[in-house]
Structure 1
Amino acid sequence: MRVLHVISEMGAGGAEALVAGMAAAGPDVGWESAVATAGGFRVAALRDAGVPVFDVPLARRSALGVVRAAWAVSAAVRRFRPEVVLAHNVSASLVARLGAPRTPVVTVFHGVAEADVAGAVRVLRRVSDRVVAVAAASADRLRAAGLASEVVPNAVFPSAPVHDRATVRAALGTAPDVPVALCPARLEPQKRHDVLLDAWASVGGAVELWLAGDGSLRAELEEHAERVGGRVRFLGTRTDVRDLLEAADVTVLTSDWEGMPIALLESLAAGRPVVASDVDGVREVLSGGGGVLVPRRSPAATAKALRDLLHSPLAREVATARDGSGDAHALMKSYDELLRTVLEARRR
């Protein structure tokens, strides 16, 4: 089966990590995969692995941008001749439908803000043959807005760190015994780093916070970090999050909303407990353990949970008494069955 993934970019992010893993694992279930995207650091690894990558400019929520992106997808379809398109998120689904009007389009819905769900449903009804939500909570939101969807929970594809804990810490100038909290998230409004920084001001002790990601709020957040004090490191966009997890002690996400964040699953797979906002897919993953859920937008509760885990190895051990990384093989099998069902229905 020839599968074309359409995604805005292939940089840092959960959807991007999922596409990279699925494209690499495709041969295990009989897929020949290609990716249509505007670029990003993961593109080189895809090409090195023999996965064709087609350049598609970002749509940028403008009519002209959508037309240009759809034209590029159309060119990719002519060259690769996919049997099915797997479009990741709403804008990619619109572009995929316009660029591949005769090819089935299956949308992977990674999530949107609650206020945007109704608009997303209006688009997806028109452009998608089927919709897959990455978390049950996301599927519930779609259903409440009038759109039924499948649920295939996100999973991480196994990987080992390239460098050990001591090497990573030495490279960053962090002492071996300093407790470290890692926040692997884009510096964008959804992720609410302001809440995290307010919490960090009252964590106390000789601890460090690593912010792995970049975005439009970086300058504002750097000023915020200076005001609240504490040791905060802005690491920028990183291609070595697995190594950072090896060197950190706790992962923290203070997002306003999430689908099912790959960063959280990667942390659990690496044996690192999570402090995270009690929202949608995060709640699903941590319902069986693996970390501490805190109320959304609560610096006080976030600070307490970070203090408890950073200053107590025993608390961290208890919190990670569960592997919540998901099953990548089961994920691929579920998608394979779904796509083949869609193709069979189209043939009929």
Structure 2
Amino acid sequence: MGSGGAETLVAGMVTAGSGYGWESAVASGGGHRADALRAAGVPVFPVPVARRSVHGVARAVVASSRAVCHFRPDVVLAHNVSASLVARLTTLWDRRPVVTVFHGVADADYPGAARILRRTSRTVVAVAAATAERLRAAGLDSPQPMVIPNAVFPRAAGTGRTAVRAALGIPPRVPVALCIARLEPQKRHDVLLDAWALLSGDAVLLLAGDGSLRAELTRRVATSGLADRVRFLGNRDDVPDLLAAADVTVLTSDWEGMPVAVLESLAAGRPVVASDVDGVPAAVGDGGIVVPRRDPAATAAALRTLLLDPDRHAAAVAAGLAAIRRQHDPHLLMRSYDEVLRAARRERRR
């Protein structure tokens, strides 16, 4: 329950759920979003993240069983595959349904994901049509995955562009690109840094997030002459502030479902440069530029266009805002999930 897209979706749904008659609890490995929900009165149960080991899954099942026994939910909503396995093992001896929200996996993991979801989940909700189709192609025919696109939940307004830039030590007119992503192999920051090295001028790249590659990427920046133009910000819980400071956002991942970071960027009026994977083209639309995966030159060209061409930037801003209003309204998402959860509850009561 940190700063990732799935965590953002969980926090938004739990917070909005009371308006739909939901009583929600969260079982997670903790983090600042879990802390905020607990402070708001939401029951939060500690459950270690299920690593890819029998011991890790067993520990998560024991902790999840305590949460289920205490909270007694009608439905367990599991985000991603390992959580679905834990949820099914936790509810093995009753008829409590498991609904999976599938955010995507690496290419090689789709067959395994399809096998697990076939055995664990009453309903599988994919966050993008592309990921649903890939699950079907990998053999998930029962249950047939349905699609509910991710949405952007309202956040408190940031402190303003001028103040945030001043706090970061960035002059008002310097072009700024922001990448909101964990520093993990999936996100391919190496591609982004190679692209940034192709850009001349004083533009600054902000990297918000942390992870196992922090030290390696820091060394790469130091040895490539980018130290003055790249800032590592670590994990942040002030995304609206960072978006206010930025001109564009960028995401060079190898795979994604429908990244909430992209949707939040568009909703804040920030065009996006992102790699052509899974649900990204549907999310970006005309609100930015989609580039081939693992292509630093194309990424650099797209960043140059959106940072330096005012007309192209303005057109992308308008298109992105329109797409968010039309396709990613949180009320549409909540109504869809409400139907799914109530259908699962009715089936259990038969």
Superposed structure 1 runs of 4+ greater than 4 Å apart: none
Question: Any idea what SS the aligned residue of 1:112 has?
Answer: coil
Q: What are structure 2's unaligned runs of at least 5 residues?
A: none
Give me the whole-angstrom Cα distance separating, in 1, the residues matched to 2:54 and 2:35: 30
Give me the whole-angstrom Cα distance separating, in 2, the residues matched to 1:153 and 1:202: 34
Give me the whole-angstrom Cα distance separating, in 2, the residues matched to 1:286 and 1:68: 39
Partner residue of 1:219 out of 206, 215, 219: 215
Shift of 1:256: 0.7
Give me the whole-angstrom Cα distance separating, in 2, the residues matched to 1:229 and 1:249: 23
Corresponding position: 1:22 with 2:13: yes
CA contact (8 A) 1:156 1:327 kept: yes
Corresponding position: 1:295 with 2:292: yes
Question: Any idea what SS the aligned residue of 1:320 has?
Answer: helix
Shift of 1:49: 1.6
Shift of 1:36: 0.2
For residues 201-256 of structure 1, the C-alpha deviation after alignment (integer angstroms, 9 at most, x for no partner) is 01111110000000001111111112332300000011111110011000000001
Q: What is the aligned length?
A: 338
Give me the whole-angstrom Cα distance separating, in 1, the residues matched to 2:186 and 2:343: 35
Give me the whole-angstrom Cα distance separating, in 1, the residues matched to 2:158 and 2:192: 28
For residues 251-270 of structure 1, the C-alpha deviation after alignment (integer angstroms, 9 at most, x for no partner) is 00000111000000000000
CA contact (8 A) 1:73 1:100 kept: no
Partner residue of 1:116 out of 109, 121, 146: 109
Counterpart position of 2:165: 169
Give me the whole-angstrom Cα distance separating, in 1, the residues matched to 2:23 and 2:115: 31
For residues 75-122 of structure 1, the C-alpha deviation after alignment (integer angstroms, 9 at most, x for no partner) is 111111100000000001111111122211000000001110000111
CA contact (8 A) 2:158 2:244 kept: no
Shift of 1:58: 1.9
Give me the whole-angstrom Cα distance separating, in 2, the residues matched to 1:190 and 1:50: 34
Counterpart position of 2:125: 132
**Length-normalised TM-score, structure 1:** 0.95
Partner residue of 1:141 out of 134, 143, 148: 134
Pairing of 1:228-267 with structure 2 (within 5 A): 228-230=224-226, 231-267=229-265
Shift of 1:161: 2.5
Give me the whole-angstrom Cα distance separating, in 2, the residues matched to 1:181 and 1:267: 11
Shift of 1:48: 1.8
Question: Any idea what SS the aligned residue of 1:31 has?
Answer: coil
Q: What are structure 1's unaligned runs of at least 5 residues?
A: 1-9
Corresponding position: 1:329 with 2:327: no
Corresponding position: 1:339 with 2:337: no
In the alignment, residue 50 of structure 1 is paired with which amino acid?
G
Question: Any idea what SS the aligned residue of 2:270 has?
Answer: coil
CA contact (8 A) 2:151 2:330 kept: yes
Counterpart position of 1:3: none
Give me the whole-angstrom Cα distance separating, in 2, the residues matched to 1:98 and 1:76: 13
Shift of 1:271: 0.3
Question: Any idea what SS the aligned residue of 2:48 has?
Answer: coil
Shift of 1:312: 2.5
Partner residue of 2:271 out of 267, 270, 273: 273
Partner residue of 1:80 out of 57, 71, 90: 71
Give me the whole-angstrom Cα distance separating, in 1, the residues matched to 2:300 and 2:225: 14
Counterpart position of 2:303: 306
In the alignment, residue 146 of structure 2 is paired with which amino acid?
E
CA contact (8 A) 1:198 1:228 kept: no
Counterpart position of 2:177: 181
CA contact (8 A) 2:47 2:64 kept: yes
Shift of 1:294: 0.6
Give me the whole-angstrom Cα distance separating, in 2, the residues matched to 1:132 and 1:266: 21
Question: Any idea what SS the aligned residue of 1:315 has?
Answer: helix
CA contact (8 A) 1:37 1:57 kept: yes
For residues 44-89 of structure 1, the C-alpha deviation after alignment (integer angstroms, 9 at most, x for no partner) is 2101221110011122211111111111111111111100000000
CA contact (8 A) 2:262 2:284 kept: no
Give me the whole-angstrom Cα distance separating, in 2, the residues matched to 1:302 and 1:39: 35
For residues 15-58 of structure 1, the C-alpha deviation after alignment (integer angstroms, 9 at most, x for no partner) is 00000000000011110010000101111210122111001112
Give me the whole-angstrom Cα distance separating, in 1, the residues matched to 2:278 and 2:200: 30
**Greater mean alpha carbon deviation, residues 36-45 or residues 208-217:** 36-45
Shift of 1:160: 3.5
**Greater mean alpha carbon deviation, residues 317-326 or residues 247-256:** 317-326
In the alignment, residue 112 of structure 1 is paired with which amino acid?
V
CA contact (8 A) 1:197 1:228 kept: no
In the alignment, residue 163 of structure 1 is paired with which amino acid?
T
In the alignment, residue 271 of structure 1 is paired with which amino acid?
G
CA contact (8 A) 1:204 1:307 kept: no
Give me the whole-angstrom Cα distance separating, in 1, the residues matched to 2:282 and 2:85: 29
**Greater mean alpha carbon deviation, residues 306-315 or residues 78-87:** 306-315
In the alignment, residue 220 of structure 2 is paired with which amino acid?
H
Shift of 1:284: 1.0
In the alignment, residue 104 of structure 1 is paired with which amino acid?
P
CA contact (8 A) 1:250 1:310 kept: yes
Question: Any idea what SS the aligned residue of 1:321 has?
Answer: helix
